[in-house]
Amino acid sequence: MFLNKRKKIVFICILTCLTLTITFFTAEIFIRIAAPVPLVKYSYSPTLKWEPVPNSRFSYFDFRNRKKSYSNVISYNSNGCRGKERVIPKPDNIFRIVCLGDSFTEALQVPENTMYTTLLENLLNNPGGISSRTVEVVNLGISGQGIVQHYINFIERGMAYEPDLVIEQLCINDFIDDETITTAHLDDSTHNVIIVPEKKNFFALMGIYIKDFLKNNSVFYNFIQSRFILSERAQFLEEEKEILLALSREKAGKITIPPHRLMRSSGFIMALGKKCRERGILFVPFSFVMPPEVAHGDTLRSLYKKMNNPFIEQLSPVLAAGGITLYDFTGSFVEKEEKGEFTTIESDGHWNKTGHEVVAASLKDVLLRITGDN
């Protein structure tokens, strides 16, 4: 009697597992055909939180827009970044630039040959560039990462490239992103940083690895994440609105970075600048604020129209006191938009080819000035 009951329980468990497995694979096949979403290849990092999977390849397309305004095959090299393989250690005849940033730098929305990092490399290798040596531009951008992670990324991956110059792309949401990162601690008086990897027990790591596997391989899992929890389009708009309002004391489009956020984020920028100076590396941080014409939704557009530039008003003076110049490219975007040339992808908000051209040309002008070449 007891054995029969036990067999029945085992049978029910096996049947349940088989049913769930068949249901999952059926849903996976259906979603891949009916409503596919891209499978971005990221894995867990105890310091960066997430990082690209080296030597991986995947399709990234505009799943928010049925017309698919873009569709690209993304490849990460052996160091987990977009672009050509680079020789390490650096050859003597190479002038190397490392670019740090978030999704605007990683630029999954455009092909590799139209990323601003690729365009900048081409511009600087034309006659009248910044060096008699061949210029290489390394793209170390990782989507969703803020200023604290830029620093960690430079220490863990960027320094190995032995750069002559470091470019850091800053975005308005960095001040929010930085609050969630606890794997790096800053000494405000010395601008020294201590990186402390996360410690996870076995079960927590197993959960993370299972989640990574599903995110990297299951369209159904990513569909659930992006569509049923909160649509990606609505999530983008809501996050951007919340960022603007969270940074605003008056909640009327006047953007003011709260002191604690300003201190933490600026501290890590200055720590990166200090690390570069100690090694004789030029350091160029740049920012941008989207012009109101490219803001998504009437509420956001009204906020942008009233919006000041917190980078220039608040962050720039703090960095200048530490000997760092913050370059702002907002005017270049506005100039393009006023000519009727769109610089962003409508459904996405990231730079299109024209936007990347604006950044590459602006960076070239800055680099020519600071290196003393014309």
Closest-CA residue to 52 (of 186, 156, 126):
156
Q: Is 280 left (phi over 0), alpha (psi -120 to 50) or beta?
A: left
The pLDDT of residue 61 is above 80: yes
Closest-CA residue to 250 (of 313, 306, 305):
306
Contact present, 186 and 267 (Cβ < 8 Å): yes
The pLDDT of residue 89 is above 80: yes
Q: DSSP string spanning 27-85?
A: HHHHHHHHS------EEEETTTEEEEPTT-EEEEE-TTSTT-S-EEEEE--TTSSSS--
Cα(66)–Cα(63) distance, rounded to whole angstroms? Answer: 7
pLDDT tens column, 218-254? 988 888 877 654 454 455 555 556 666 666 554 455 6
Q: What angle do CA 85, 91, 97 make, to 5 degrees?
A: 60
Q: Read off the amino acid at residue 110.
A: V
pLDDT tens column, 290-343? 655 555 555 555 555 556 677 778 889 999 999 999 999 988 988 888 888 888
State the pLDDT at residue 339: 86
102 pLDDT tier (thresholds 50, 70, 90): very high
178 pLDDT tier (thresholds 50, 70, 90): confident
The predicted model scores a pTM of 0.89
The pLDDT of residue 99 is above 90: yes
Burial class (CB in 10 A: 0-12, 13-18, 19+), 224: middle
Closest-CA residue to 65 (of 103, 38, 29):
38
Greater pLDDT, 8 or 111:
111
Collapsed DSSP state (helix, strand, coil) of residue 126: coil
Contact present, 200 and 209 (Cβ < 8 Å): no
- The CATH number given to 60-68+76-199+229-371 is 3.40.50.1110
Collapsed DSSP state (helix, strand, coil) of residue 207: helix
pLDDT over 90 percentage in the chain: 52
Residue with tokens 């750069």, as numbered in its chain: 163
The pLDDT of residue 7 is above 80: no
The pLDDT of residue 56 is above 90: yes
State the pLDDT at residue 96: 97
pLDDT tens column, 24-52? 888 888 888 877 888 889 999 999 999 99
State the pLDDT at residue 156: 96
- How far from each other are the two terminal CA atoms of the chain, in whole angstroms? 91
State the pLDDT at residue 374: 41
Contact present, 149 and 183 (Cβ < 8 Å): no
pLDDT tens column, 103-162? 999 999 999 999 999 999 999 998 877 778 899 999 999 999 999 999 999 999 999 999
Cα(57)–Cα(305) distance, rounded to whole angstroms? Answer: 40
The overall average pLDDT reported for the chain is 85
Residue with tokens 């960690």, as numbered in its chain: 152
State the pLDDT at residue 294: 56
State the pLDDT at residue 3: 54
Cα(309)–Cα(286) distance, rounded to whole angstroms? Answer: 13
State the pLDDT at residue 169: 97
Q: What angle do CA 237, 238, 242 make, to 5 degrees?
A: 120
List CB contacts of 269: < 8 A, sequence separation 6 or more.
147, 168, 170, 285, 315, 319, 324
